[in-house]
């Protein structure tokens, strides 16, 4: 049946359309199918890249099929630049840049106008970059660009909107101990990088109370300058016309900013051991931490492949197969080995399971990590991972906004300068990873005996373990088990253990 | 792509004409009953493929709640040739497992009896198992071990993954079960092979481990989240007669009791070709795709009896319902009104109403957050499901404001909507956003598939192209009429969520505690936590009396602490014995 002729295919389709065909032509295994060839070349940054005379690098990806435009300005700034005692300043500046009025418009007027145009103008500042993004119908682009310029150069930081955002921030802080997932995320960061590391500094009631409108103005003027911008434009634009508009957008900047210094990288992982936060929920959340990697590490492709086989690849990964499919212990289970671009992001493996099987499932994950270091992966595993990365690659650039956005990000993080052919070479680098590479990086990077293990859940139930699986949590990771306190949601000072329930 | 001009009400000088963008869907029907929807898009060399089974938790009955969702999980377990090295022995083992499970179910019945008698407190704890159950469980584990030796683990997923597919997943709602994936453009035939194979002859191997996975999903989503259990209960209170009143994930008693036999019956009834719509969006030629789908899916026999529809109609609501909870959350309210099902003629005006209320220029934000300042966050949503619908407004109270104040402020915003027509410009703002959304939804291939699945699952995919014009033609009178008709007291259920006392999250916002020394703070917090849980005024009075006698003793720092505690005792007393 392999070499069906065209006429046979036609006949078959007629028969099947008439509902008269049995399964005769359908092979019993998918390997017997044959596919037409598919070639794909990723877009090249150089085709879209323009150095604007007004300062920023811009990526223009026209797409005239829909009357929509996205203009996105990425800003070299971040919460790492916040002064001590003003934690939250970057986030506040990012939000209020567009929510607190701009230029001749009050916050209320700006919101009404954007809403009437069905335009979105959003802004945020994260750990190590900021973004101001406009999306609207192309007929409204001139007006939209004027509003964008106002937001970038003349935000009003209206006091009532600052007070409102502060109130919202404080009330959000009060929920910090409500969800075990929130507690878990916070303590994971602290254990992985140390509470003194900038990315682990948290807002407090006092730090956001101290933020004034003048602080926002100073932070904005310091970093929001064309020299710190990269720009991504996609959608219904003509390249030449939009370039002229962008030059106008960034010309004659009313103030001079400064270039931020390097992003600190002084992380410090906690001592190996098991750390438990007691929280009254019937499912324990577990993360196994190890030191991570930067994405420009020459081993990063091999590490990516190794992690995919261990726990990154979903249902084709070992951790998912063992913890979920075999044992039914968790809904989600897996690992990640993300490459940081500024500092090494930690390796994490994790899952959630009922209290009594926390120790058992943790043992399985540690065993799978050890197994990666002890025996080579199978040909099939390696092939699945490589084909998956390589053949799903076109999805990376599946919208015009993503093409422009990815290239602008590469510009900001320096990847384009360092490795301009990165996307052209990416599939080849994955293809080149061998079984030996996978074994070598596993041996170098995976050390279950030195892991930092965080568990959030009902401590007493979790420590009981399960009668069918005689492993105890306190036996894992070198046998050191300590309890981490819950933290006061507004000060982050340690809280005493939950008071015992009063007798009725 | 076709563009057609939609109607816009006259007199709107501020807006230009609005263009509605149609999604060019080709609809076909296979002889065995499958419907097929095709949307060509050639932007990238990918195809998003999916299908929706017209079955959800609303089709279940008490005792097997959660089966639609568990079944969705089982559809990834393979076929006779995918997922095992020895199909024959694999099926034998599954039968042997079922025989053991029947015996285990007899024991489970005894365990439930023990629970009713109070002999065990938790049926799922390892200690609740009977001796016979443990023996059977050991035998069962041996069969699982043997099966594991034959399994090709998660091979269904591995085949797709190795082929460069991505985004494979599925979901279950009250109304539908949707399955979707994205494949490289040259592998349409793989999609047809995989999906028709699993629809034709799925094998439910590893059934009982997967059932445990689903229970962990329930723990994760509902039981171990701050408000999950409360929302579940509130929902159960909202619907009187309709099967929407049980959770999609199923009741905790039902999930661990669902049998593979019940899953087989469920498959036979609800996964017949005439109950399924197939969909492809992306880089293919429609004629070729139609031929291929016909060839692969056409071989599946038509079902013998049509799947039953949901008959039970919700009864009218005769009285307001109220739900008062204390949870680990900031104080918030949730108000639900009964409305209409998807596609009902009033649903478009209700969608417009939702957007008049929503957003930073919406009436709720302006009224509650900016104006009266009783709330920090507020949102509205109309949820028109297949068989019935509801309108929901949620709001978080601003610190210091009561939930009653928030609730009153919500009604104060709704009241004028039922009395006065909406100003033209405000209505146009909302319509402009609906019109722009018609374009925004077209930017992603996968997004189009997702919309098709949902619209078809709710009853009719044509809604994705027809709803736009209907929304544009909603008049101020329509909005006024639906506001009057649905926002009635008898028609609503109101949930109040207060922060549970002593949940370790009150924080240092209390200035009295903030003034204490770091050594004193923990003790003060602990004491106040206990005080807030005390229900007996007499005990508080006794404590107060004892503290009075010791007031003159100790150093100034301790006296400061004592003063604060006294104050807190008095506050708690006032709460318990409010002045008339």
Q: Which of A17, A353, A358 to probe the B interface (max B CBs under 10 A)?
A: A17
Using a CB-CB distance cutoff of 8 angstroms, which residues of chain B are in contact with residue A354? Answer: 216, 219
Mean predicted confidence (pLDDT) in B189-218: 97
- Element at A252 (helix H, strand E): none
Chain A CA closest to residue B42: A398
Token match 């593979």: residue? B260
Tell me how far CA of residue A375 lies from CA of A385, A439, A489, B364, in angstroms.
Answer: 17, 7, 46, 61
CA-CA distance, A410 to A417, in Å (whole number)? Answer: 8
Helix, strand, coil share (%) of chain B residues, nearest 5: 50, 15, 35
Q: Which of A18, A38, A118, A489 to probe the B interface (max B CBs under 10 A)?
A: A118
- Partner-chain residue, chosen from A16, A37, A467, that has the shortest CB–CB distance to B186: A37
- Cβ within 8 Å, pair B216-A320: no
Chain A CA closest to residue B429: A116
- Partner-chain residue, chosen from B209, B377, B445, that has the shortest CB–CB distance to A325: B209
Q: Which of B40, B133, B164, B283 to probe the A interface (max A CBs under 10 A)?
A: B164
- Cβ within 8 Å, pair B184-A38: yes
Token match 């990697």: residue? A293
Q: State the sign of the Cα–Cα–Cα–Cα dihedral A494, A497, A499, A501.
A: positive
CA of A259 to nearest chain B CA: how many angstroms apart?
34
Q: Which of A6, A8, A16 to probe the B interface (max B CBs under 10 A)?
A: A16
Name every residue whose Cβ is closer than 8 Å to that of residue A224 and which is 6 or more positions away in sequence: A75, A77, A97, A152, A153, A257
Chain B CA closest to residue A391: B164
| Per-residue model confidence as pLDDT tens digits over B121-179 | 888 888 899 999 999 999 999 999 999 999 999 999 999 999 999 999 999 999 999 99
How many Cα atoms are found within 13 Å in the side-chain-facing hemisphere of B99? 8
CA-CA distance, B488 to B501, in Å (whole number)? Answer: 33
- Cβ within 8 Å, pair B154-A325: yes
Q: In chain B, how long is the greatest CA-to-CA distance?
A: 94
Using a CB-CB distance cutoff of 8 angstroms, which residues of chain A are in contact with residue B127? Answer: 467
Beta carbons of B466 and B53 less than 8 angstroms apart: no
Taking alpha carbons only, the member of A296, A498, A60, A193 closest to residue B529 is A498
Taking alpha carbons only, the member of A285, A297, A276, A176 closest to residue A483 is A276
CATH class of the domain defined by B321-499: alpha beta
- Cβ within 8 Å, pair A173-B507: yes
According to CATH, what is the number of the domain B31-72+165-302?
A: 3.30.830.10
Taking alpha carbons only, the member of A354, A348, A337, A247 closest to residue A295 is A337
Cβ-Cβ pairs closer than 8 A, A with B, add up to: 275
What pLDDT is recorded for position B21? 77
- Cβ within 8 Å, pair A499-B184: no
Is it the case that residue B13 has pLDDT exceeding 50? Answer: no
What pLDDT is recorded for position B37? 98
Q: Give the tokens for residue B146.
A: 């043997």
Taking residue B483's Cβ as centre, other Cβ atoms within 10 Å add up to: 22
Beta carbons of A96 and A155 less than 8 angstroms apart: yes
CA-CA distance, B422 to B428, in Å (whole number)? Answer: 10
For B271, which DSSP code?
S
Beta carbons of B525 and B517 less than 8 angstroms apart: no
CA of B436 to nearest chain A CA: how many angstroms apart?
6
Name every residue whose Cβ is closer than 8 Å to that of residue B371 and which is 6 or more positions away in sequence: none
What pLDDT is recorded for position B509? 47
Domains of chain A: 1-34 (no CATH), 45-250 (3.30.830.10), 273-484 (3.30.830.10)
CA-CA distance, A305 to B492, in Å (whole number)? Answer: 54
Q: Which of A12, A18, A26, A166 to probe the B interface (max B CBs under 10 A)?
A: A26
Q: Give the tokens for residue B189.
A: 């035939």
Mean predicted confidence (pLDDT) in B297-317: 94
Beta carbons of B6 and B18 less than 8 angstroms apart: yes
Beta carbons of B122 and B129 less than 8 angstroms apart: no
Beta bridge partners of A288: A349, A453
What pLDDT is recorded for position B529? 58
Using a CB-CB distance cutoff of 8 angstroms, which residues of chain B are in contact with residue A177? Answer: 328, 503-505
Mean predicted confidence (pLDDT) in B304-331: 96
Judged by average pLDDT, the poorest of A17-26, B70-79, B325-334 is A17-26
Q: Give the tokens for residue B69.
A: 């969702």
Beta carbons of A30 and B159 less than 8 angstroms apart: yes
- Element at B414 (helix H, strand E): helix B403-419
More confidently predicted of B293 and A399: B293
Is it the case that residue B396 has pLDDT exceeding 80? Answer: yes
Taking residue A401's Cβ as centre, other Cβ atoms within 10 Å add up to: 22
Using a CB-CB distance cutoff of 8 angstroms, which residues of chain B are in contact with residue A205? Answer: 507-509
Tell me how far CA of residue A139 lies from CA of A111, A143, A236, in angstroms.
Answer: 19, 9, 9
Using a CB-CB distance cutoff of 8 angstroms, which residues of chain A are in contact with residue B76? Answer: 315
- Element at B298 (helix H, strand E): none
Q: What secondary structure, in 3-state letters, does B438-468 show? A: HHHCCCCHHHHHHHHHHHHHCCCCCHHHHHH
- Cβ within 8 Å, pair A118-B295: no
Taking alpha carbons only, the member of B139, B193, B184 closest to residue B165 is B184
- Cβ within 8 Å, pair B44-A328: no
Is it the case that residue B486 has pLDDT exceeding 60? Answer: yes
CA of B321 to nearest chain A CA: how many angstroms apart?
27
Taking residue A73's Cβ as centre, other Cβ atoms within 10 Å add up to: 27
| Per-residue model confidence as pLDDT tens digits over B406-446 | 999 999 999 999 999 999 999 999 999 999 999 999 989 99
Using a CB-CB distance cutoff of 8 angstroms, which residues of chain B are in contact with residue A21? Answer: 295, 298-299
Q: Which of A32, A66, A119 to probe the B interface (max B CBs under 10 A)?
A: A66
CA-CA distance, A313 to B552, in Å (whole number)? Answer: 68
For A326, which DSSP code?
I
What pLDDT is recorded for position B507? 47
Using a CB-CB distance cutoff of 8 angstroms, which residues of chain A are in contact with residue B433? Answer: 115, 118
Using a CB-CB distance cutoff of 8 angstroms, which residues of chain A are in contact with residue B535? Answer: 504
Token match 């909406």: residue? B422
pLDDT, tens digit only, all 504 positions of chain A: 333 333 434 444 444 444 444 455 899 999 999 999 999 999 999 999 999 999 999 999 999 999 999 999 999 999 999 999 999 999 999 999 999 999 999 999 999 999 999 999 999 999 999 999 999 999 999 999 999 999 999 999 999 999 999 999 999 999 999 999 999 999 999 999 999 999 999 999 999 999 999 999 999 999 999 999 999 999 999 999 999 999 999 999 999 999 999 999 999 999 999 999 999 999 999 999 999 999 999 999 999 999 999 999 999 999 999 999 999 999 999 999 999 999 999 999 999 999 999 999 999 999 999 999 999 999 999 999 999 999 999 989 988 999 999 999 999 999 999 999 999 999 999 999 999 999 999 999 999 999 999 999 999 999 999 999 989 999 998 889 999 999 999 999 999 876 555 544
CA-CA distance, A404 to A391, in Å (whole number)? Answer: 22
CA-CA distance, A192 to A187, in Å (whole number)? Answer: 8
Using a CB-CB distance cutoff of 8 angstroms, which residues of chain A are in contact with residue B198? Answer: none
Chain A CA closest to residue B369: A164
Using a CB-CB distance cutoff of 8 angstroms, which residues of chain B are in contact with residue A27? Answer: 193
Q: Give the tokens for residue B225.
A: 């989240």
CA-CA distance, B64 to B262, in Å (whole number)? Answer: 8
CA of A439 to nearest chain B CA: how many angstroms apart?
21
- Cβ within 8 Å, pair A282-B224: yes
Q: Which long-range contacts (CB under 8 A, 24 or more apart) does A430-434 make?
A: A430/A301, A430/A304, A430/A305, A430/A386, A430/A389, A430/A390, A431/A386, A431/A390, A432/A301, A433/A301, A433/A302, A433/A305, A433/A382, A433/A386
What pLDDT is recorded for position B519? 61
CA-CA distance, A275 to A285, in Å (whole number)? Answer: 12
What pLDDT is recorded for position B15? 40
- Cβ within 8 Å, pair A281-B45: no
What pLDDT is recorded for position B543? 73
More confidently predicted of B556 and B52: B52
What DSSP assignment string belongs to B350-392? Answer: HHHHHHHHSSTTSHHIIIIIIIS--EEEEEEEEEE-SS-EEEE
Using a CB-CB distance cutoff of 8 angstroms, which residues of chain A are in contact with residue B528? Answer: none
More confidently predicted of A312 and B523: A312
- Element at B148 (helix H, strand E): helix B131-150
CA-CA distance, B515 to B322, in Å (whole number)? Answer: 39
- Partner-chain residue, chosen from A111, A118, A468, that has the shortest CB–CB distance to B126: A468
Taking alpha carbons only, the member of A103, A123, A95, A99 closest to residue A111 is A99
What pLDDT is recorded for position B538? 74
Give the E-state strand segments of A374-502 in sequence order.
452-457, 481-484
Q: Which long-range contacts (CB under 8 A, 24 or more apart) does B559-562 make?
A: B560/B515, B560/B516, B561/B516, B561/B520, B561/B523, B561/B524
Taking alpha carbons only, the member of A217, A78, A98, A220 closest to residue A161 is A98
What pLDDT is recorded for position B544? 72
pLDDT band at residue B576 using 50, 70 and 90 as cut-offs:
low
């Amino acid at each position: 049946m392999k070499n069906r002729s065209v006429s046979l295919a036609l006949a078959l389709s007629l028969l099947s359309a008439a509902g008269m065909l049995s399964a005769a032509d359908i092979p019993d295994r998918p390997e017997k199918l044959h596919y037409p060839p598919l070639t794909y070349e990723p877009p090249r940054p150089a085709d879209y890249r323009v150095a604007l005379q007004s300062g920023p690098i811009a990526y223009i990806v026209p797409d005239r099929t829909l009357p929509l435009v996205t203009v996105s300005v990425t800003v070299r700034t971040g919460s790492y630049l916040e002064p001590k005692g003003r934690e939250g300043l970057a986030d506040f500046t990012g939000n209020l840049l567009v929510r607190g009025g701009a230029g001749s418009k009050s916050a209320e007027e700006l919101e009404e106008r954007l809403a009437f145009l069905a335009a979105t103008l959003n802004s945020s500042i994260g750990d190590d970059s900021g973004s101001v993004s406009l999306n609207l119908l192309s007929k409204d682009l001139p007006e939209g660009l004027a509003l964008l310029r106002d937001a970038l150069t003349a935000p009003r930081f209206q006091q009532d909107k600052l007070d409102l955002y502060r109130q919202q921030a404080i009330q959000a802080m009060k929920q910090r101990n409500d969800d075990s997932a929130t507690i878990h995320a916070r303590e994971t960061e602290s254990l992985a990088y140390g509470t003194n590391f900038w990315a682990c500094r948290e807002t407090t009631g006092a730090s956001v109370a101290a933020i004034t409108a003048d602080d926002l103005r100073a932070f904005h003027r310091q970093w929001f300058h064309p020299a710190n911008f990269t720009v991504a434009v996609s959608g219904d634009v003509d390249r030449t016309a939009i370039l002229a508009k962008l030059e106008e957008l960034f010309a004659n900047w009313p103030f001079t900013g400064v270039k931020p210094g390097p992003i600190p990288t002084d992380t410090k992982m906690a001592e190996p051991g098991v750390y438990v936060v007691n929280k009254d929920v019937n499912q324990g959340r577990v993360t196994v931490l190890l030191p991570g990697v930067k994405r420009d590490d020459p081993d990063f492709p091999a590490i990516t492949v190794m992690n995919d086989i261990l726990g990154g690849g979903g249902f084709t990964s070992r951790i998912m197969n063992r913890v979920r499919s075999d044992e039914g212990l968790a809904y989600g289970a897996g690992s990640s080995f993300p490459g940081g671009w500024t500092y090494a992001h930690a390796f994490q493996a994790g899952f959630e399971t009922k209290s009594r099987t926390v120790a058992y499932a943790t043992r399985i994950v540690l065993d799978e990590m050890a197994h990666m270091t002890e025996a080579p992966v199978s040909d099939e595993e390696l092939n699945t991972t490589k084909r998956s990365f390589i053949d799903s690659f076109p999805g990376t650039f599946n919208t015009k906004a993503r093409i422009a956005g990815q290239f602008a990000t590469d510009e900001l993080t320096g990847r384009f300068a360092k490795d301009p052919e990165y996307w052209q070479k990416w599939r080849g680098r994955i293809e080149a990873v061998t079984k030996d590479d996978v074994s070598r990086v596993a041996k170098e990077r995976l050390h279950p005996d030195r892991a930092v293990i965080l568990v959030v859940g009902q401590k007493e139930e979790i420590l009981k373990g399960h009668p069918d699986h005689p492993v105890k949590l306190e036996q894992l990771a070198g046998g050191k088990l300590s309890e981490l306190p819950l933290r006061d949601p507004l000060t982050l000072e340690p809280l005493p253990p939950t008071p015992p329930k009063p007798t009725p | 792509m076709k563009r057609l001009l939609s109607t816009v009400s006259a007199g709107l000088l501020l807006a230009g004409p609005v263009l509605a963008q149609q999604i060019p869907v080709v609809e076909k029907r296979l002889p065995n009953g499958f419907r097929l929807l095709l949307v060509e898009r050639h932007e990238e060399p990918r195809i998003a493929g999916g299908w929706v089974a017209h079955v959800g938790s609303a089709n279940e009955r008490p005792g097997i709640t959660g089966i639609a969702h568990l079944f969705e999980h089982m559809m990834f377990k393979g076929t006779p040739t995918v997922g095992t090295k020895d199909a024959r022995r694999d099926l034998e083992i599954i039968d042997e497992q079922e025989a053991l499970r029947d015996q285990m179910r007899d024991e489970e019945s005894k365990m439930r009896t023990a629970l009713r008698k109070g002999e065990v407190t938790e049926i799922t704890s390892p200690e609740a198992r009977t001796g016979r159950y443990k023996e059977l469980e050991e035998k069962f584990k041996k069969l699982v071990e043997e099966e594991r030796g034959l399994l090709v683990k998660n091979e269904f997923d591995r085949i797709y993954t190795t082929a460069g597919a991505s985004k494979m997943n599925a979901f279950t709602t009250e109304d539908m079960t949707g399955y979707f994936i994205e494949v490289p453009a040259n592998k349409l035939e793989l999609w047809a092979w995989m999906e028709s194979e699993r629809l034709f002859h799925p094998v439910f191997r590893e059934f009982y481990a997967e059932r445990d996975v689903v229970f962990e999903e329930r723990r994760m989503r509902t039981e171990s989240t701050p408000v999950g259990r409360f929302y579940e209960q509130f929902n159960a209170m909202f619907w009187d007669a309709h099967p929407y009143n049980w959770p999609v994930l199923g009741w905790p008693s039902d999930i661990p009791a669902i049998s593979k036999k019940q899953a087989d019956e469920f498959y036979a009834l609800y996964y017949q070709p005439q109950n399924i719509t197939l969909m492809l969006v992306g880089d293919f030629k429609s004629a070729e795709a139609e031929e291929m789908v016909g060839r692969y899916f056409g071989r599946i026999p038509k079902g013998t009896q049509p799947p039953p529809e949901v008959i039970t109609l919700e009864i009218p609501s005769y009285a307001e319902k109220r739900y008062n909870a204390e949870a680990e959350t900031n104080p918030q309210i949730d108000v639900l009104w009964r409305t209409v099902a998807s596609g009902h003629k009033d649903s478009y005006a209700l969608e417009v109403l939702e957007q008049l209320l929503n957003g930073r220029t919406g009436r709720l934000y302006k009224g509650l957050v900016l104006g009266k300042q009783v709330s920090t966050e507020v949102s509205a949503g109309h949820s028109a499901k297949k068989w019935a619908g509801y309108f929901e407004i949620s709001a978080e109270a601003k610190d210091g404001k009561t939930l009653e104040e928030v609730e009153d402020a919500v009604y104060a915003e709704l009241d004028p909507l039922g009395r006065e027509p909406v100003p033209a410009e405000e209505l146009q703002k909302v319509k402009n956003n609906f019109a722009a959304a018609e374009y925004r939804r077209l930017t992603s291939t996968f997004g189009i598939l997702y919309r098709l699945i949902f619209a078809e699952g709710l009853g009719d995919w044509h809604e994705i192209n027809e709803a736009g014009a209907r929304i544009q033609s909603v008049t101020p009178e329509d909005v006024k009429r639906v506001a009057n008709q649905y926002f009635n007291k008898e028609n609503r259920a109101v949930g109040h969520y207060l922060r549970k006392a002593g949940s370790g999250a009150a924080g240092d916002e209390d200035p009295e505690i903030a003034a204490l020394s770091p050594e004193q703070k923990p003790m003060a917090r602990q004491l106040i936590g206990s005080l807030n849980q005390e229900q007996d005024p007499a005990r508080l009075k006794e404590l107060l009396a004892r503290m009075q006698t010791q007031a003159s003793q100790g150093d100034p720092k301790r006296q400061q602490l004592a003063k604060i505690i006294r104050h807190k005792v008095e506050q708690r007393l006032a709460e318990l014995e409010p002045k008339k």
